[in-house]
Amino acid sequence: MQQWAMVLLGLLVLGQTQAQAKEGMWIPTLLGAVEGDMQSMGLHLTAEDIYSINEGSLKDAVVHFNGGCTAEMVSEEGLLLTNHHCGYSQIAYHSTVENDHLTDGFWAMTRSEELPNPDLYARFIDRIVDVSERVRTAEDAAAEQAAIVDEYTEGTDLEGAVVAFDFGNSHYLITTRTFEDVRLVGAPPSAVGKFGGDADNWVWPRHTGDFSIFRIYAGPNNQPAAYSPDNVPYRPKHHFPVNIGALEEGDFTMVFGFPGRTEQYLTSDAVVHVLETLNPMRIEMRDASLAVINAARSSSPALKIAYADKQSGVANAWKKWIGQSRGLQELGALEKKLNLETAFQARAEAAGRLDDYGTVIADIQAVNATYFPFLEGRWRFIELVYYGPDILNFAQGFGPLIRQAGDKTTSDSTWFAMRQERQANVEDFLRQYDPLVDEQLMAALIGLYAQGMQAEFVPKALEGMDNPKQFAEDLYAKSIFAQPDGLREMLANGNRKKWSKLAKDPALVLVESVMESYFSAIRPGYTEQRAALDSLTALYTRGLQELFPEKAFFPDANSTLRLTYGRIKGSSPYDGMTYTPFTTHKGILQKYIPGDPDFDLPMDLVNALRAEDWGAYADSNGDLPVCFTGSNHTTGGNSGSPAINGEGHLIGINFDRSWESTMSDILFDETRCRNIMVDIRYVLWVTDVYAGAGHLVDEMTVVGR
244-284 residue pLDDT tens: 999 999 999 999 999 999 999 999 999 999 999 999 999 99
Residue 30 confidence (pLDDT) above 80? yes
Instruction: Give first-to-last CA distance, the chain, whole Å.
Output: 41
Please, are residues 130 and 560 in contact by the beta-carbon 8 Å criterion? Answer: no
The Cα 162–Cα 132 span in angstroms is: 10
Mean per-residue pLDDT, 211-223: 97
Residue 381 confidence (pLDDT) above 70? yes
8-state DSSP, 686: I
Please give the single-letter amino acid code of residue 705.
R
Phi, psi of 683 (to 5 degrees): -55, -50
How many angstroms separate the most distant Cα atoms in the chain?
Answer: 78
Phi, psi of 684 (to 5 degrees): -70, -35
The Cα 661–Cα 570 span in angstroms is: 12
Please, are residues 691 and 672 in contact by the beta-carbon 8 Å criterion? Answer: no
* Cα separations in angstroms, 371 against 166, 216, 366, 377, 608: 20, 43, 9, 10, 56
SS3 at position 652: strand
DSSP 423-469: HHHHHHHHTT--HHHHHHHHHHHHHHHHHHS-GGGS-GGGTT---HH
Q: 89, 639, 641, 658: which is the annotated catalytic residue?
A: 639
Residue 40 confidence (pLDDT) above 70? yes
Q: How many CB atoms lie within 10 A of CB 617?
A: 21
Residue 348 confidence (pLDDT) above 90? yes
Residues in Cβ contact with 525 at an 8 Å cutoff, skipping those fewer than 6 apart: 370, 374
Residue 424 confidence (pLDDT) above 80? no
Q: 64, 85, 239, 273: which is the annotated catalytic residue?
A: 85
Per DSSP bridges, beta strands 181-187 and 650-657 are: unpaired
Residue 60 confidence (pLDDT) above 90? yes
Q: Among 644, 642, 555, which residue's Cα sits nearest to residue 65? A: 642
Please, are residues 537 and 545 in contact by the beta-carbon 8 Å criterion? Answer: no
Give the length of the chain: 705
Active site residue 520: no
Q: What is the pLDDT of residue 421?
A: 84
Q: Is the dihedral of CA 200, 203, 208, 213 positive or negative?
A: positive
Please, are residues 22 and 565 in contact by the beta-carbon 8 Å criterion? Answer: yes
Q: How many CB atoms lie within 10 A of CB 52?
A: 18
Give the residue ranges of DSSP H helices in 212-307. Answer: 268-273, 279-297, 301-306
Q: 100, 210, 505, 656: which is the annotated catalytic residue?
A: 210
Task: Please give the radius of gyration of the chain, using alpha carbons only, rounded to the nearest integer.
Answer: 26
Mean per-residue pLDDT, 440-454: 96
SS3 at position 585: helix
Q: 142-152: b or e for each residue (b if 16 or more CB lie within 10 Å)? A: eebbeebbeeb
Helix (H) or strand (E) segment spanning residue 173: strand 170-179
Phi, psi of 260 (to 5 degrees): -75, -90
Residue 93 confidence (pLDDT) above 80? yes
pLDDT band at 426 (very low <50, low <70, confident <90, very high): confident
pLDDT band at 21 (very low <50, low <70, confident <90, very high): low
Active site residue 210: yes
The Cα 84–Cα 186 span in angstroms is: 10
Q: What is the pLDDT of residue 432?
A: 85
pLDDT band at 13 (very low <50, low <70, confident <90, very high): very low
Q: Among 632, 641, 639, which residue's Cα sits nearest to residue 661? A: 632
Cis peptide before 549 (omega within 30 of 0): no
Q: Is the dihedral of CA 618, 619, 623, 625 positive or negative?
A: negative
pLDDT band at 552 (very low <50, low <70, confident <90, very high): confident
The Cα 19–Cα 137 span in angstroms is: 41
Active site residue 649: no
Q: 668-695: b or e for each residue (b if 16 or more CB lie within 10 Å)? A: bbbebbbbbbbbbbbbbbbbbbbbebee
The residues that bridge with 576 in the sheet, in sequence order, are: none
Mean per-residue pLDDT, 562-584: 95
Q: Indicate the average pLDDT of the chain.
A: 94
pLDDT band at 422 (very low <50, low <70, confident <90, very high): confident
Please, are residues 291 and 444 in contact by the beta-carbon 8 Å criterion? Answer: yes
Please give the single-letter amino acid code of residue 85.
H
Mean per-residue pLDDT, 448-453: 94
103-159 tens-digit pLDDT:
999 999 999 999 999 999 999 999 999 999 999 999 999 999 999 999 999 999 999
